[in-house]
């Protein structure tokens, strides 16, 4: 990577929060309405992206925020596994 290119965390910081929320909501709804394994895989891919973001921001999050993120991830993964099975 060239020094003039911003890092991933800097690019993510510039993302419009409303667009990010609507994009995640669209993926969740897509995963919930798609049948069986396909919907479950969409939800698992979303969970993997959320895990990556959580790992990047873990050190700067408050303990309450960490707990909420972990609970939401557990629920999302649980729903994905339920859809796959």
Q: Find the helix or strand (DSSP H, E) in which 31 lies.
A: helix 17-33
pLDDT bin (cut points 50, 70, 90) of residue 79 is: very high
Query: What pLDDT was estimated at residue 15?
Result: 85
Query: pTM to 2 decimals?
Result: 0.81
pLDDT digits (tens, 9 = 90+) for 59-68: 888 999 999 9
Give the count of beta carbons closer than 10 Å to the beta carbon of residue 32.
14
Q: Where do the domains of the chain lie? A: 8-84
Query: What pLDDT was estimated at residue 14?
Result: 86
49 has pLDDT over 80:
yes
């Amino acid at each position: 990577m060239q020094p003039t290119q911003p890092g991933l965390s800097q690019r993510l910081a510039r993302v419009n929060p409303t667009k990010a929320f609507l994009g995640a909501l669209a993926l969740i709804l897509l995963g919930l309405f798609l049948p069986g394994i396909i919907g479950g895989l969409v939800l698992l891919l979303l969970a993997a992206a959320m895990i990556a973001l959580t790992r990047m921001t873990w050190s700067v999050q408050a303990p309450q925020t960490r707990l909420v993120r972990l609970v939401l991830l557990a629920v999302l993964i649980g729903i994905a596994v339920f859809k796959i099975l």
